[in-house]
Amino acid sequence: MATAAENNAMRRAITLAARGLGATSPNPVVGCVILDAAGEQAGEGFHQRAGGPHAEIHALREAGERARGGTAFVTLEPCNHTGRTGPCAQALTEAGVSRVVYAVGDPNPQATGGADTLRAAGIQVEQGLLADEAETGNTAWLTSVRLGRPYVLWKYAATLDGRIAAADATSRWITSPEARADVHRLRAEADAVVVGSGTARADDPQLGVRGIEGASQPLRVVVDTGATAVRPGARVLDDTAPTLIAVADDAEAGHLPEEVVLRLPRAAAGPGLDIHALLAALHGRGVRSVLLEGGPVLAGAFVAAGAVDTVVGYLAPVLLGAGPAALADAGISTISRALRLDVTETVRLGPDLRITAVPVPARKGN
Ligand SMILES: NC(=O)c1ccc[n+]([C@@H]2O[C@H](COP(=O)([O-])OP(=O)(O)OC[C@H]3O[C@@H](n4cnc5c(N)ncnc54)[C@H](OP(=O)(O)O)[C@@H]3O)[C@@H](O)[C@H]2O)c1
């Protein structure tokens, strides 16, 4: 059984790890806390950005000589490979820690093996402390490693009767300033924000993070098959963040800056572009987490493609009675094929409700 101090150390490491969300891809977020031989905190750190030092290195630097004989608490198995930085297993060994406790094993075939290396060096190694919490904090990266595509969080804002715009297409603003500020946090934590051409045409969204100091800006992506929705001067083409306009292989896109055009195959069946090809192209550019901001037609295509990992709905106590629903056709025509979800969190944001839910894993035979 872990002591209260050990639980606190790992919980602190998980909190620290979250500070890297949105800035570390293609790497995971990782936090580390080092207790000295007397059990006092000697150092802490987190992986701040891809290419920068790993969490363990920051924590070891802060701990200095006090790491010797101490214990390192790490949210993810220390890496074993030399990438842009040296292996953390070796750094922990050289610093003289006598014990390493990590929460979650590293599923990345290139980096795994750190625990074995540490054991071979005579260090006591334990896995699993607060593993569920640490895994939740690293969901995006772990999902992307498991599935070989970016993790996708679909977010929408709707009235209590499930509408995302009025019958005349006006939608600003359904939810409160508190809910809208929360969306900027989601943007800051994501590597890319994706919308469809319908949303680009209706709203001319800027899609950047605003109101969060020091936040890293996501890649902005508009899925615009015929290259007709995003015109020169569109807010998404401003220079505050990188942008990609995903268009069909054969689209006429001469009016767009060449560097923003991403050419993709059309969907094999149905309208628009191939969603899997889009996700593969983003993954190839280091994107490990996508915030899908709609609208309903594109979200329906993602659901139909089995490419939504988490749903975040902001529900406002407002009724419209007419207007588009949050989700359009998702290839579900009968109740037995409904996509069922588990609610993992409900939070009150000002007058609104934020509901987070994840698809229930398909049962065999379904
Ligand atoms: N409240 C909210 O949370 C929220 C969020 C976003 C938008 N909205 C509202 O939603 C409305 C726009 O929604 P929308 O559903 O019309 O537009 P949308 O989902 O943003 O875009 C749909 C378009 O995306 C393109 N697309 C590309 N690949 C696709 C694929 N594989 N499958 C399906 N479509 C694909 C299609 O046009 P092309 O093939 O011609 O490119 C399609 O018509 C606006 O009124 C906006 O204000 C509300």
Q: Summarize the confidence of residues 12-30 as an average pLDDT.
A: 95
How many whole angstroms separate alpha carbon 286 and alpha carbon 224?
21
Active site amino acids: 56
Rounded to 5 degrees, φ, ψ at 339 are: -85, 110
- Any ligand 1 atom below 6 A from CB of 271: yes
Strand pairing category for 124-127 and 99-104: parallel
Q: Is the CB of 265 under 6 A from ligand 1?
A: no
224 Cβ inside 6 Å of ligand 1: yes
The residue among 49, 4, 13, 51 whose CA lies nearest residue 34 is 13
364 pLDDT more than 70: no
Give the whole-number percent of the chain exceeding pLDDT 90.
Answer: 90
Protein residue whose Cα sits closest to atom 33 of ligand 1: 298
Query: Of all atoms in ligand 1, which is nearest to the CA of residue 157?
Result: 3
Q: Write down the mean pLDDT value for the chain.
A: 95
The larger pLDDT score, comparing residue 74 to residue 361, is at: 74
- In this model, does residue 154 exceed pLDDT 50? yes
Average of pLDDT values for 123-143? Answer: 96
Cβ(166)–Cβ(39) under 8 Å?
A: no
Alpha-carbon distance 19 to 55, whole Å? 11
Tokens of 5: 């101090």
Angle, helix 55-63 to helix 88-95, in steps of 10 degrees: 10
State the average pLDDT over residues 136-148. 95
Per mean pLDDT, which range of 84-98, 165-179, 259-273, 329-343 is the poorest? 84-98
Q: What is the mean pLDDT of residues 289-299?
A: 96
User: Predicted confidence band at 365 (pLDDT cuts at 50, 70, 90)?
Assistant: very low
- pLDDT exceeds cutoff 70 at 76: yes
pTM over 0.75: yes
The answer to whether 100 touches 74, Cβ cutoff 8 Å, is yes
